[in-house]
Chains A and B, each alone.
Chain A
Amino acid sequence: MDFSTYVAQRRTRLVRTAVLLGCPRGDAEDIVQTALLRCYRSWRRVSRADNPDAYVHRVLVTTLIDARTRRWNGELPTDDLPEPRPADDAGWASGIAVRRALAAMSPDHREVLVLRFWADLSERDTAVALGVAPGTVKSRTARALRALAPLVEAPDAH
């Protein structure tokens, strides 16, 4: 896949991934741009890999970590969730609830949930993206999923 096509297809999704990973909304586009430019320079090699997503997410995660340590002093702002829309938009309300739950959990748990279930990376690719063993992804995922349990019923509960 050439670089332009990849950007066209994935950039929006990557911005959302960055926000779900805890990046402040206002910085997410910059972070994704930085990450994509990092990938650009080795794109020939990246695109030759079976799945460029693993590499791109790896770069995105490290770019976020760098930005976090450098610009946000290690703390993730969690108070920039958008205002809830009127209550008739149940999907929106439950989405915000999920984001609050993500913001409240540890970075380890948040990362595996976002990469596995939003970015659609396999366990193995998630392990590559996070620089941890596949077994670690598995165990973290199991624990992280429990934190989402209270939200599962929410769509039907209103």
Chain B
Amino acid sequence: MPTEPTESTEPSEHDARDLLARAAATIDVDEVAPLTLTGLPEPDGRRWPLLVAVAAAVVLVLGGGWWVATQVGTHGGTAAPADADGSPAETARVYDAGQMPSLLGYTEGEARTLLEDAGVDVRVRAERDGCNVAGTVVGADTPVGDRLRPGTTVTMFVVKPRKVTDCVGEPDWATIWDLVRFARGLGGPPVLAPEVELSLERPDLDPVAGATRTRDELADPDGWTICGADGMCHSPLAGLEQMLTDPAIWAYAGTPTLSVSQGPGCLVGHRGGWFSYDWTYHLSVEVPVDGISCPATSLLVGTDDQGRIDAVELRLPPQGADVSEPQLETTLSRLSAAAQLARWARGHGSAPHFADRVRDLTRGASQAWIDDPASLASWTCADCALGVFPIPADQKLVPSAGRSTCPDGGPVPSDYAGSADDVVTLGVPEPRTCDVGAALELWIDQDGRIYAVDAVATPY
């Protein structure tokens, strides 16, 4: 009979602290902090250009070639450098009069006029919510961008009042919709603190750009633009407008909704996840899908103790994270092995051929090797490949040649990186961003034997 490890030998927390303190005492540290840390002025938000330069210099030294490569890639890619007029990289998607626009943030009356002018019949579905702003359009049944045919019917979802006891724990919808309407040019600025901290976060760009602006400066939408360390200009406000209007942001075509989470919500994304617990709201625009959806682009909003917006951060996916068509050829035996693995993992059919043991390259995997690959259980521990990317029963997955174009799988040891021809990636068909590009990379030899695996773009 197998025996459990003896419980009685588990050290107390006191013992653990003592042991860790002993370990730490063996590490000599020069007590003097480097000048770059002690020489910094206290952050007051008004010295960004200087600070970004200082910090960028330090990161350049530390990050070495990687950072340089990223920057070169950025400038060599499709991203345009800052225009002379400093216009932001984010732009709204514009629809012509015969197309279904994104109605998020419109009032019922505004939306009705727009749709009736296009010749369609308008119906309203009431979204009863006593804490939201009555009369606001929060969705529709027609995908944004669809051709509006005169005589057809569009149903829009409109907030209608309902009696509620209180709205404790609910977001301050009035402020949120004011911000949305301001971003869309439908209304004046929302309630802002006297000074507002603006920032831009992109995982491949560090440090980020930031600036503190006054309420007066922000009354002008152009006042929201910050020109960042990547040589481009960005605007959280324009970013919000793009989020609200551009299906490329939503990962799926369809009818978007504004999603607002508070506190530590959607800790999903790139390189260990977003960190949002010190923000008031996390705004994203999503098309509802089954399962986890965390758009790569989102807006974080902070408020002060009076509920006034005092910080806004635009979070963008890394440059080049959009999924592109795989370029590599692959062989039929590799593709079939991958497809067979997907079936097997869902409980159908027999196991594909494996090498004697399979290297698990999944980031954070506690065991580097799957010793008994023909047993599904050895793939599914919490941090093993199929534990991290459980193959969903109802999600169509397609095998494609080459590694995933999403960055989250991270570098793999050179032996594996050099064998890119062996790789087949099992992922969702035509993912539009890496957040739905969760995938399983499989290294398969020419005989169709799977010898390594890597779960990528994994929700945390």
Q: Mark A residues whose CB is within 8 Å of B.
A: 2-4, 7-8, 11-13, 15-17, 19-20, 25, 28-30, 33-34, 36-38, 40-46, 48-49, 54-55, 58-59, 61-62, 65-66, 69-71, 73-75, 81-82, 91-92, 94-96, 98-99, 102, 106-108, 113-114, 116-118, 128, 131-132, 142, 145-146, 148-152, 155
Contact of A98 among B13, B22, B273, B364 (CB under 8 A): B22
Chain B residues near A (Cβ < 8 Å): 5, 9-11, 13, 15-27, 29-31, 33-34, 36-38, 40, 42-45, 51-52, 55, 58-59, 62-64, 66, 197, 199, 206-208, 210, 264, 267, 271-273, 275, 277-279, 302, 311, 361, 363-364, 366, 383, 410-414, 460
Judge whether B206 and A152 touch: CB under 8 Å: no
- When distances are taken between beta carbons in the complex, the residues of chain A under 8 Å from B42 are 2-4
From B34, B45, B51, B363, A33 is in contact (CB under 8 Å) with B34
Contact B37 A7 (CB under 8 A): yes
For A20, the chain B residues whose CB sits under 8 A away are: 20, 23-24, 27
CA distance A43 to B197 in the complex (A): 11
Within the assembled complex, what's the spacing in Å between the Cα atoms of A12 and B24? 10
Q: A74 CA to B18 CA in the complex, in Å?
A: 30
Do A58 and B275 have beta carbons less than 8 Å apart?
yes
Q: Quick check: A37 and B55 within 8 Å, CB to CB?
A: yes
CA distance A4 to B66 in the complex (A): 29
A-B contact pairs, 5 of them (CB 8 A): A11-B37, A12-B31, A41-B52, A148-B19, A152-B11
Given A54, A66, A95, A151, which contacts B271 in the complex, CB threshold below 8 Å? A66
Q: Which residues of B contact A146 (CB under 8 A)?
A: 5, 9-10
With beta carbons under 8 angstroms apart, the residue of B33, B273, B366 that contacts A107 is: B366
* Prevailing SS type, chain A contact patch: helix
Beta-carbon contact of A82 and B26 below 8 Å: yes
Complex CA gap A70/B36 in Å reads 23
Flag if A131 contacts B43 (CB, 8 Å): no
Q: Which residues from B are CB-within-8-Å of A106?
A: 366
A145, B66: Cα distance in complex, Å: 37
When chains A and B are docked, how far (Å) is the Cα of A48 from the Cα of B43? 13
* Minimum-distance CB pairs A-B, first 9: A95-B22, A98-B23, A106-B366, A149-B9, A118-B20, A95-B26, A117-B16, A69-B410, A43-B43
Q: How far is the CB of A152 from chain B (nearest CB, A)?
A: 5
- Bound-state CA distance A133–B361 (Å) is 23
Q: Find chain A residues with CB under 8 A from B40 CB.
A: 3-4, 40
Q: How far is the CA of A7 from the CA of B37 in the complex (A)?
A: 8
List chain B residues, Cβ under 8 A from A15: 27, 29
Q: Is the CB of A34 within 8 A of B58?
A: yes
Which residue of B has the minimal Cβ distance to A132? B460
Q: Tell me the bound Cα distance from A42 to B38 in angstroms.
A: 16
CA distance A108 to B364 in the complex (A): 8
**Given the interface contacts A34-B62, A40-B40, A61-B272, does A92 sit within 8 Å of B25 by beta carbon?**
yes
**Do B207 and A145 have beta carbons less than 8 Å apart?**
no
B281 to chain A minimum Cβ distance, whole angstroms, is 14
Question: Cα distance A91–B20 when bound, in Å?
Answer: 11
A69 to chain B, nearest CB (A): 4
**Also in contact, A114 and B20, with CB within 8 A (given A33-B37, A45-B302):** yes
CB proximity of A77 to chain B, nearest CB, Å: 15
Query: Is B22 within 8 A of A91, CB to CB?
Result: yes
A33 and B40 alpha carbons, distance in the complex (Å): 12
Chain B residues within an 8 Å CB radius of A152? 9, 11, 15, 19
